[in-house]
Amino acid sequence: MPAFRIIPCLDVKDGRVVKGINFVGLRDMGDAVALARRYRDEGADELAFLDITATVEGRGALRCLVERVAEVLDIPFTVGGGVSGEEDGAALLAAGADKVTVNSAAVGNPGLVERLARRFGSQCVVVAVDARRDGQGYRVVTHGGRRPTELDAAAWCAEAVDRGAGEILLTSMDRDGTGQGFELELLAAVRARVDAPLIASGGGETPDHFAAAAAVGADAGLAATIFHEGRVAVGDLKAALAAAGVAVRLPGR
């Protein structure tokens, strides 16, 4: 059974790491390079870098900052923000990313997922899906949570994988930054539809939250605030998960 991965996330705005609640009320969390180095040293399995205003502002991710972060990493590095075409993906991979994340542009143009997978390989393509509860189900939202859609979240995840996505990064907009735990019902609904690796995001704070995500089929847990604010170190989280019976890669092993 593959080890459950822990992925700190750097949400970047204007070159600085930020974090809020439900994608609003952003607060400065620090320097991206310094945080990347810290998480690498703590034993993170991967690092995610998301330029959260690139799509809204109609530009690509901050390539110079991506390059600086990549220089201090020797773990997989996923980058997203403003990827609207193949050349955007090529530029990020050239800057040092191992994978590129596409979100809003893929919803508007699903064929983009196929083109990215065909050119770079599915292993390089992560489709990020932001979802919000709508009645009894979950709907996809885009543009940093600003635009609701009629897309069912689980159905869109399944389509993205069918089109070549190698991984799904699934964020609960309702849980983002709340510390209330991952949206397990959402994770289970998507797990039932896709067999690609699934990253849980939004609301994870305690080891129990991460263990619960693993129990419903998530392959990784992504978090930001708990790491940025020093509430828990990556290594300590992994140790607690291992003690709870969750397979993880412990630092130094």
Residue at 105: amino acid letter? A
For the cut 60, the answer to whether the pLDDT of residue 147 exceeds it is yes
Q: What is the mean pLDDT of residues 171-193?
A: 95
Quick one: average pLDDT of 210-224? 97
Say whether pLDDT at 154 is over 80. yes
Identify any residues that bridge with 6 across adjacent strands, giving them in sequence order: 221
Percent of the chain with pLDDT over 70: 91
Q: Which is higher by pLDDT, 55 or 211?
A: 211
Structure tokens belonging to residue 80: 């997203």
Residue 141 confidence (pLDDT): 94
> Which residue carries 């019902």 as its tokens?
185
Backbone torsion region of residue 14, taken as left when φ is above 0, otherwise alpha when ψ lies between -120 and 50, otherwise beta: left
Which range among 17-26, 121-130, 180-189 shows the weakest confidence by mean pLDDT?
17-26
| pLDDT, the chain, mean | 90
| pLDDT bucket at 53, cuts 50 / 70 / 90 | low
pLDDT of 27: 64
pLDDT, position 225:
87
Determine contact, residues 11/19, Cβ cutoff 8 Å: yes
pLDDT at 55: 59
Return the number of other C-beta atoms located less than 10 Å from residue 84's C-beta: 19
Give whole-number Cα distances, 243 to 138, 192, 219, in Å. 33, 27, 18
Torsion from C-alpha of 205, 210, 216, 219, nearest 10 degrees: 120
Query: Average pLDDT in the 8-36 region?
Result: 74
Instruction: Report how far apart, in Å, the C-alpha atoms of 74 and of each of 16, 47, 71, 151 are.
Output: 21, 10, 8, 37
Kindly state the tokens that stand for 162: 């069918």
**Is residue 131 within 8 Å of residue 153, measured between CB atoms?**
yes
The pLDDT assigned to 58 comes to: 57
Question: Does 25 score more than 60 pLDDT?
Answer: no
Structure tokens at 106: 């893929």
Of residues 214, 237, 220, the one with CA closest to residue 42:
237
Encode pLDDT of 60-116 as tens digits.
557 888 999 999 999 999 999 889 999 999 999 999 999 999 999 999 999 999 999
DSSP string, 114-183: HHHHHHH-GGGEEEEEEEEEETTEEEEEETTTTEEEEEEHHHHHHHHHHTT-SEEEEEETTTTTT-S---
Task: Give the residue-averaged pLDDT of 118-140.
Answer: 96
- Paired with 8 in beta bridges are 223
Point out the residues that are catalytic. Answer: 11, 130
Range of weakest confidence among 51-55, 195-199, 246-250: 51-55
What pLDDT is recorded for position 157? 98
Lowest mean pLDDT among 47-51, 94-98, 240-244: 47-51
CA nearest neighbour of 213 among 230, 237, 191: 191
> Which domains does the chain show, CATH number per domain?
5-243 (3.20.20.70)
Instruction: List all residues 6 or more positions away from 140 whose beta carbon is below 8 Å from its beta carbon.
Output: 107, 129, 130, 131, 149, 151, 152, 153, 156
pLDDT at 98: 97
Instruction: Extract the runs of DSSP E, i.e. beta strands, from the chain.
Output: 5-13, 16-21, 24-30, 47-51, 77-80, 99-102, 125-134, 137-142, 147-152, 167-172, 198-201, 220-223
147 compared with 24, residue with greater pLDDT: 147
